[in-house]
C-alpha cells in the first residue's frame, strides 16, 4: 500500500531525477549527444529522488495512514503550546500543517487523474527527449495548480460557513498526554531525520 501511494507522483520523481541528471555540471562521465552526465549530476539526481520518495512516504503515506489530520493538528498544537506566551499563532500553524498534510495525497491522486485524462487526449509522457517531456509536464502542472487553488477556495468558504474563528475559546474532547509509545515514536523520528542528514552531507560518490 505504501508503494502504491507513491506511484501517482512517480512521474514527478522521474522528471526531477532526469532534470538533475542532465543539468548539473561536474566531471563528465557519459556524453549522449548534446547531453552530458557528470559525477555531480548523478549524485544530485539520486539525492533528489530519494528526498521526494522519503517525503511522500513519511508525510502523505505513513503519517496519514496511521493518524487522522485532526489528531495531527491537536498534537502539533499541544507540542507548540508554550510558544503562545510569545504571541505565536500556534493554533493557526497547526491547522495549516494539518491541511497541507491532508492535501498531499489528494494532489497525488489529482495528478494521476490529470495524466490519465491528458493521455486519453493524445498526450505522450513516455517517449521523446528531456525537453519534450518537460513541455508535456506543463499540461499536467497547469490544471493541477488550478485544481489546488479551487480546492483551497472551497475549503476557505466551508470554514467560514462553519464560523471558524481560530483556536480562541475552543476546548478539546480528548486531552493529549505523552505515553511510552510516543517516546518510541520520537526516537524513530530522530533516527529518520538523522538518516536524512547523513544522506545530505555524505557523498554518494567518493
Asked if the model's pLDDT at residue 119 lies above 70, the reply is yes
pLDDT per residue as tens digits for the range 163-178: 877 766 677 777 777 7
Q: Name the DSSP class of 31.
A: E
Average pLDDT over residues 105-128: 78
Specify the pLDDT at position 62: 62
Higher pLDDT, 8 or 120: 120
Specify the pLDDT at position 203: 63
Q: Which residue has the cell 489530520?
A: 69
The set of residues, in sequence order, having a beta carbon less than 8 Å from that of 101 and lying 6+ positions away, is: 59, 60, 63, 64, 69, 72
Specify the pLDDT at position 5: 61
Secondary structure E strands in 39-78: none
Residues 99 and 101: their CA atoms lie apart, in Å, by: 5
pLDDT band for 63, please (50, 70, 90 cuts).
low
Contact 142, 98 (CB under 8 A): no
Amino acid at each position: 500500500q505504501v508503494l502504491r501511494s507513491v506511484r501517482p507522483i512517480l512521474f514527478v520523481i522521474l522528471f526531477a531525477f532526469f532534470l538533475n541528471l542532465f543539468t548539473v555540471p561536474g566531471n563528465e562521465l557519459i556524453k549522449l549527444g548534446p547531453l552530458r552526465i557528470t559525477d555531480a549530476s548523478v549524485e544530485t539526481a539520486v539525492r533528489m529522488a530519494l528526498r521526494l520518495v522519503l517525503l511522500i512516504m513519511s508525510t502523505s503515506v505513513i503519517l496519514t495512514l496511521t493518524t487522522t489530520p485532526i489528531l495531527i493538528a491537536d498534537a502539533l498544537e499541544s507540542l507548540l503550546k508554550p510558544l503562545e506566551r510569545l504571541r505565536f499563532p500556534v493554533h493557526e500553524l497547526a491547522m495549516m500543517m494539518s491541511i497541507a498534510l491532508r492535501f498531499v495525497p489528494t494532489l497525488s491522486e489529482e495528478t494521476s487523474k490529470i495524466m490519465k485524462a491528458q493521455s486519453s487526449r493524445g498526450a505522450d509522457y513516455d517517449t521523446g527527449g528531456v525537453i519534450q517531456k518537460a513541455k508535456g509536464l506543463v499540461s499536467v502542472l497547469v490544471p493541477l495548480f488550478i485544481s489546488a487553488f479551487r480546492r483551497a477556495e472551497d475549503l476557505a468558504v466551508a470554514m467560514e460557513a462553519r464560523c471558524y474563528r481560530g483556536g480562541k475559546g475552543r476546548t478539546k474532547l480528548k486531552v493529549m498526554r505523552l505515553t511510552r509509545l510516543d517516546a518510541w515514536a520520537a526516537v524513530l523520528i530522530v533516527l529518520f531525520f538523522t538518516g536524512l542528514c547523513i544522506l545530505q552531507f555524505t557523498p554518494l560518490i567518493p
